[in-house]
Structure 1
């Protein structure tokens, strides 16, 4: 249940970011944003994980900057694979990643993060 709520909140964050805050990123609707959030999460969990393991030494030296770049690349990958969600370039995807992280932090502070 928690996973579904997390994906829906991430979809809402993608929808708000793409529709209202980030120029250069478009999304057709909330359903498309939820699917994009799910695909971004899957890309980060698979391809992103492999890339983070391979780039660990450089990631350690850059204090996590490589992880951020990998997340942006996963957004661009989903943008290229999926219709209805489009990021115009690296900087638009980077700005979307930052905005989504901030919105999710706000959701977390409002809703709390109770773990059982």
Structure 2
């Protein structure tokens, strides 16, 4: 049940991020659901590998390179899902991933446990 709620919150958060001036575009709630599913799978499977590979850069930048890894996963999700696009490439992915984190966190705080 928690997984379903997390999926729906992420999809709704993606719609909010698309509404903000971040350069992220989503064609509707159905596409947001698919994008949230793909994003979750990429976070579970690809992101840990990228974090291990980026560990030296992450240490050198005192953790700031994590934003780049998050943006790369966000951009990969946008590439894989039709109807989910980034208007300004990397910068849209960076802003979109930061906004998605903030909006998802806020929605998680608002919803009852």
Q: TM-score, normalization: structure 2?
A: 0.88
Give the superposed CA RMSD: 1.5
Consecutive unaligned residues of structure 1, counting only runs of 5 or more, are none
**Contact kept? 1:59, 1:66, Cα under 8 Å:** yes
**Contact kept? 2:31, 2:84, Cα under 8 Å:** yes
Equivalent in the alignment of 2:69: 70
Partner-residue secondary structure (3-state), 2:46: helix
Say how many residue pairs are matched. 112
Q: 1:61-116, CA deviations, whole angstroms, 9 ceiling, x for partnerless residues?
A: 3232222211111111121222111012111111111111111121122125x5xx
Consecutive unaligned residues of structure 2, counting only runs of 5 or more, are none
Q: Whole-Å Cα distance in 2 between the matches of residues 81 and 111 of structure 1?
A: 29
Do the aligned partners of residues 8 and 50 (structure 1) sit closer, same or farther apart at CA in structure 2, a change above 3 Å counting?
same
- Find out whether 1:109 has 2:109 as its counterpart: yes
**Contact kept? 1:22, 1:92, Cα under 8 Å:** no
Q: Whole-Å Cα distance in 2 between the matches of residues 98 and 54 of structure 1?
A: 21
Q: Whole-Å Cα distance in 2 between the matches of residues 91 and 76 of structure 1?
A: 10
Q: TM-score, normalization: structure 1?
A: 0.86
**Contact kept? 2:15, 2:32, Cα under 8 Å:** yes
